[in-house]
């Protein structure tokens, strides 16, 4: 019998959320503190100083559960993932109104093209827009090109269209941005941009819908899985995926990818899934 999945267990090892009373032996139980990611991107780690599990993005909502020096244990609201972040990457809660709808944007100190940007903002970053100044959107932290933003609730036409923005993005294990992304991060980003919920890792994504039998045709937006890998179906015998083969995000024939992965010892396709269309949560 296996224990609870630590990726989604809101328990730092000493402090847990109140909802876990009677389920874990914690030194303390807390209601948690609402917060937001206050850095363009931050690594979410299983232990302070450990390699990343995933990344969280500017404005992502968090529940703070525990603090230990310069580290904070949190649960990400967008998918339930838990882990440790640098305390400097955690800020106060606020109400976002918009998201970055392109692969990346910049935050500027003034609405001027020649101003030196303060930060690179990743696709999916959540911002509170106060107003506009010409072609610029004003936020409490600075200015962003308004053309790069979409109001929360104005979604991409589908995950396939959203995923296309990441073509050519370098592969990065645990990555979730246009600077580096992995296979499951790409699928989650594409579905979230289309306003649809999606778990963070490929093993959980493989349980996020119904099985498409071999005799049934795949549709754009379906997911194809191998052991430790997932690809997004874009058309007949066509996929888009972030792959360590070439360390990039690319379009490929499904038949070619399946043959290549099998020849490299990665085994056959393990599942073909049509994800459930569950609306994403609030901003």
Catalytic residues: 183, 229, 241
Q: How far is CA 15 from CA 19, 30, 91, 115, 262, in A?
A: 12, 7, 20, 44, 44
Alpha-carbon gap, residue 153 to 192, rounded angstroms:
11
Of 178, 159, 192, the C-alpha closest to 248 is 178
**DSSP string spanning 141-181?**
TEEEEGGGEEETT---S-HHHHHGGGTTPBB-TT-EETTEE
With b meaning 16 or more CB within 10 Å and e meaning fewer, what string describes 132-150?
A: eeeebbbbebbbbbbebbe
Report the candidate in 76, 88, 90 with the shortest Cα–Cα distance to residue 37: 90
Helices H, strands E: what count in the chain? 4, 25
């Amino acid at each position: 019998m296996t224990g609870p999945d630590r990726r989604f267990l809101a328990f730092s090892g000493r402090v847990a959320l109140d909802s876990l009373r009677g389920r874990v032996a914690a030194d303390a139980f807390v209601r948690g503190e609402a917060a937001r990611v206050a850095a363009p991107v931050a690594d979410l780690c299983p232990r302070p100083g450990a390699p990343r599990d995933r990344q969280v993005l500017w404005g992502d909502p968090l529940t703070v559960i525990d603090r230990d020096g310069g580290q904070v244990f949190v649960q990400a609201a967008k998918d339930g993932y838990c882990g440790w972040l640098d305390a400097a990457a955690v800020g106060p809660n606020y109400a976002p109104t918009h998201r970055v709808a392109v692969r990346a944007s910049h935050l500027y100190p003034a609405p001027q093209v020649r101003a030196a940007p303060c930060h690179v903002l990743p696709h999916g970053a959540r911002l509170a827009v106060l107003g506009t100044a010409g072609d610029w959107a004003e936020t409490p932290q600075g200015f962003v090109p308004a053309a790069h933003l979409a109001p929360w609730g104005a979604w991409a036409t589908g995950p396939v269209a959203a995923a296309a923005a990441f073509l050519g993005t370098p592969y990065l294990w645990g990555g979730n941005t246009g600077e580096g992304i992995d296979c499951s991060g790409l699928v989650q980003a594409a579905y979230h941009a289309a306003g649809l919920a999606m778990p963070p890792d490929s093993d959980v994504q493989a349980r996020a819908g119904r099985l498409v039998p071999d005799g049934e045709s795949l549709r754009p937006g379906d997911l194809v899985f191998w052991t430790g890998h997932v690809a997004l179906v874009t058309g007949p015998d066509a996929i888009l995926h972030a792959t360590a083969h070439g360390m990039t995000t690319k379009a490929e024939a499904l038949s070619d990818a399946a043959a290549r992965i099998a020849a490299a010892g990665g085994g056959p396709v393990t599942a073909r899934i049509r994800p459930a269309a569950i609306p994403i949560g609030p901003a």
